[in-house]
Amino acid sequence: MTQTTLRRTIPQTQKMFDDYGVLNGDNDIIHYDDQFAKDRGFRGTLGHGLMYTGYVCDLAAKRYGADWHYRGRLTVKYVRGVCPGDNLEVRIEGDGAVACQSQFDTTLVGSVKLA
């Protein structure tokens, strides 16, 4: 059965990066130091890849319900950085294809399914 596309848009802020970093203990300055990130060729500080994975998982849990906790399978690749000010759309297509897309680029691709 073909499922409907699930999507939501989450505007990104430095505070969101900071709050995630407070929880996971990540002190990598690429998430906090704008100049350091720009010196490495990015538009600005980068959000945490696992934060975006969490966004995808939330939509997958909505789609698959209880089965997600027992048989959920997820593969993601982070293809571009996400920076403060990005308007990030998170999407799961009917076939399980996953993408995160900002106004600048596709930032994450992958897939979700049940085993």
Partner 1 sequence: MTRPSDVKPREGDQPAALYKDWVVGAKFPPLPFTITPDVVDEYISVIDADRANYVIDGRQAAPPNVVLVYMMAVMYRLYPPQQGGIMIGNTIEFHNPIWADEETEVIGSGQVTEKFEKKGRKYICYDVEFKRPDGTLLVSCNHTSAFPE
What does the alpha-carbon distance between residue 82 and residue 9 come to, in Å, rounded to a whole number? 13
Closest contact distance (angstroms) between CB of 44 and partner 1 is 14
Angle at 40 between CA 36 and CA 44, to 5 degrees: 60
Question: SS3 for 98?
Answer: strand
The distance of Cα 34 from the centroid of its chain, to the nearest Å, equals 20
Kindly tell me which of 104 and 109 has the beta carbon lying closer to partner 1: 109
Minimum Å gap between C-beta 59 and partner 1 is 8
The two tokens of residue 69 are 């906790």
Q: How far is the CB of 66 from partner 1 (least distance, A)?
A: 4
Q: Which two tokens stand for residue 13?
A: 């802020």
CB nearer to partner 1: pick between 10 and 104: 10
Q: What is the contact surface with partner 1 in residues (CB under 8 A)?
A: 10, 16, 19-20, 22-30, 36, 40, 46, 48-51, 53-55, 57-58, 61-62, 66, 68-78, 110, 115
